[in-house]
Amino acid sequence: MNAILEKLSECIEVGKVNQAIPFPPHLKGLPGADEYTQEALKEGVSPVDILNQALIPEMERIGQRFSEHKIFVPQMLISAKAMSAAMQHLKPYFQTGEVKRKGTFIIGTIFGDLHDIGKNLAAMMIEGAGWEVIDLGVDVKLEKFTNAVQQHPGAVVGISALLTTTMSNMQPVVKAVKEISPTTKVIVGGAPLSPEFAQSIGADAYAKGPQEGVKWLETLVA
């Protein structure tokens, strides 16, 4: 692998966002994911190689370690922030079509629920896996989901909930999405959910964590 891409991978692994941020201590004052991505582009490394050789493999490793309980939410978040810093420099190439997205993923926390850590983790992991992510935020009403589906034909929908009192709100959203677009795939996630619940409300899949969601999405483009 290109030496710059190796450094970029390391920055994502340890959550080194940019040179100005003093974390982690052993890389204080050194470039981060932001600078190394810019440097790679200046040296002629293609955006596709940056994505496929550094960002996607590293986020896959991080997701796997998270699923094995070897790292926890704080480490995932700082790695995802470093990945997002790198992605900012690649987005213009997605817009021109030079780098192809795997698809579009619409995500939001269900109405009545204001929790966003799980949603944010999933959004950043899925973006790092090469998808365009449309993040609708928290407390997302039914109409906002259906409008997004109509604005982004072919997109996959992800719905998050952290409360047992709000998970029941998912069913009318799934139903409405399927009514306006029967072929649209819907995946749900959150602590109180289960595969059985997902099936009972008409969702196509359930993800226990971000990495499971990424793996399921990969089956749609395989």
The pLDDT assigned to 85 comes to 95
Q: What does the pLDDT read at residue 46? A: 94
Q: pLDDT at position 64, please?
A: 87
Note the pLDDT tens digit of each residue in 95-127. Answer: 888 888 899 999 999 999 999 988 998 998 898
Summarize pLDDT for 174-209 with one digit per residue, the tens: 999 999 999 999 999 998 999 999 999 999 999 988
Domain 101-222 has CATH 3.40.80.10: no
pLDDT tier for residue 63 given thresholds of 50, 70 and 90? confident
Domain ranges of the chain: 1-100, 101-222
Give the per-residue pLDDT at 139.
Answer: 98
Place of tokens 């009514």: 179
Q: Evaluate if residue 1 carries a pLDDT over 80.
A: no
Q: Under CATH, which number does the domain 1-100 receive?
A: 1.10.1240.10
**What pLDDT, on a 0 to 100 scale, did the predictor assign at position 66?**
87
The string of pLDDT tens digits covering residues 130-179 is 899 999 999 999 999 999 999 999 999 999 999 999 999 999 999 999 99
Decide if 24 contacts 15 (C-beta within 8 A). Answer: yes
Contact 202, 178 (CB under 8 A): yes
1-100 and 101-222 agree in CATH topology = no
